[in-house]
Amino acid sequence: MSYKTIILNKSVAISTIVINRPNKLNALNKETISELHEAIKTADADKQTKVIIITGSGEKAFVAGADISEFANFTALEGKELAAKGHAELFDFIENLSTPVIAAVNGFALGGGLELAMACHFRVASNNAKLGLPETSLGLIPGYGGTQRLPQLIGKGRALEMIMTAGMIDAAQALNYGLVNHVVPQEDLLTFIEKIAHKITGNSSVAISTAIEAVNANFKSGVNGFQVEIQGFGDCFGTADFKEGTKAFLEKRKTNFPGK
């Protein structure tokens, strides 16, 4: 499949998706959201792909927000439908994906851009990154999960301050808050993340997807995360990956997991 707003690069075990709208600082529009969905879906379905990395083109921005020109004249109903579709098509879709998704935050991650990064399983930032949710300065609130995921990651008080002030924090503060896992020089960002990705690819994809489901369960209303963990733990015993992992351990050799 050919894409207009993104680039999909695939290696043996890692798929890298680059949001490629540099003249718009990689802002999200309907087309980009749709293409991201399709590219991530394609990568997830590829049995060789064990990690997905999402980043932005250029050196200025990961994603500098949503494309405001698309919804400036929306009605209340249209705004609600826009948010609901975005959740289903991209943000919730990423969060619940069985393949790990890492955000390589290479500059501005604002509004929908920060929400995209937060939907990923974790984030690594370049030292020039700026992160924020400026929606209240436009008379809006975050609509792609920002009011939910930001408090989960950094706590209610800090999240409300960021949302109410509509301000940005730098990479060092994001690291201090726990919003990103690591901060590295921009020129080292992808290399650093690929090293982490290669560590992930050496482990069981089946176990990792089960762990993602169990961790996410803790943040879902009406779901007992401990029960999801217990069920997932038990299910692992019936997998080929468990048999290979334990056999390799006992034989003191490197594992050769069948894959997803």
Reported as a single tens digit per residue, the pLDDT across 16-27 is: 999 999 999 999
Q: What is the structure's pLDDT at 127?
A: 98
End residue of a domain, out of 164, 183, 201: 201
Q: Does 258 fall in a domain?
A: no
Q: What is the structure's pLDDT at 69?
A: 87
- Total structural domains within the chain: 2
Question: Which of the following is catalytic: 35, 95, 135, 194?
Answer: 135
Q: Does 44 fall in a domain?
A: yes
Do 68 and 193 sit in the same domain of this protein? yes
Angle at 161 (CA atoms; ends 155, 163), nearest 5 degrees: 95
What is the tens place of the pLDDT at every residue in 165-214? 999 999 999 999 999 999 999 999 999 999 999 999 999 999 999 999 99
Do 31 and 151 sit in the same domain of this protein? yes
- Joined together, the tokens standing for residue 254 give 């490197």
Q: Does 259 fall in a domain?
A: no
CATH number assigned to the domain comprising residue 20: 3.90.226.10
Do 151 and 127 sit in the same domain of this protein? yes
Q: What is the structure's pLDDT at 258?
A: 82
The amino acid sitting at 196 is I
Do 97 and 187 sit in the same domain of this protein? yes
Do 108 and 86 sit in the same domain of this protein? yes
Do 85 and 147 sit in the same domain of this protein? yes
Do 149 and 47 sit in the same domain of this protein? yes
End residue of a domain, out of 186, 201, 216: 201
Q: Does 102 fall in a domain?
A: yes
Whether 95 is catalytic: no
Whether 115 is catalytic: yes
Do 143 and 220 sit in the same domain of this protein? no
Do 138 and 216 sit in the same domain of this protein? no
Q: Does 260 fall in a domain?
A: no
Do 151 and 77 sit in the same domain of this protein? yes
Residues 6+ apart with CB under 8 A from 198: 13, 14
Please identify every stretch of the chain with a pLDDT value under 70, giving residue numbers as ranges: 259-260
Q: Does 257 fall in a domain?
A: no
Distance CA 226, CA 24 (A): 43
Do 210 and 197 sit in the same domain of this protein? no
Q: What is the structure's pLDDT at 260?
A: 66
Question: Which of the following is catalytic: 115, 161, 229, 244?
Answer: 115
What is the pTM assigned to this prediction?
0.96
Angular region, 178: left φ>0, alpha ψ -120 to 50, beta rest: left
Which residue range is the domain that position 82 belongs to?
6-201
- Joined together, the tokens standing for residue 117 give 């990064």
Q: What is the structure's pLDDT at 73?
A: 92
59-70 in b/e form (b: 16+ CB < 10 A) is eebbbbbbbeee
Residues 6+ apart with CB under 8 A from 195: none
Q: Does 256 fall in a domain?
A: no
Strands 168-170 and 130-132: antiparallel
Do 70 and 160 sit in the same domain of this protein? yes
Q: Does 255 fall in a domain?
A: no
Distance CA 68, CA 103 (A): 23
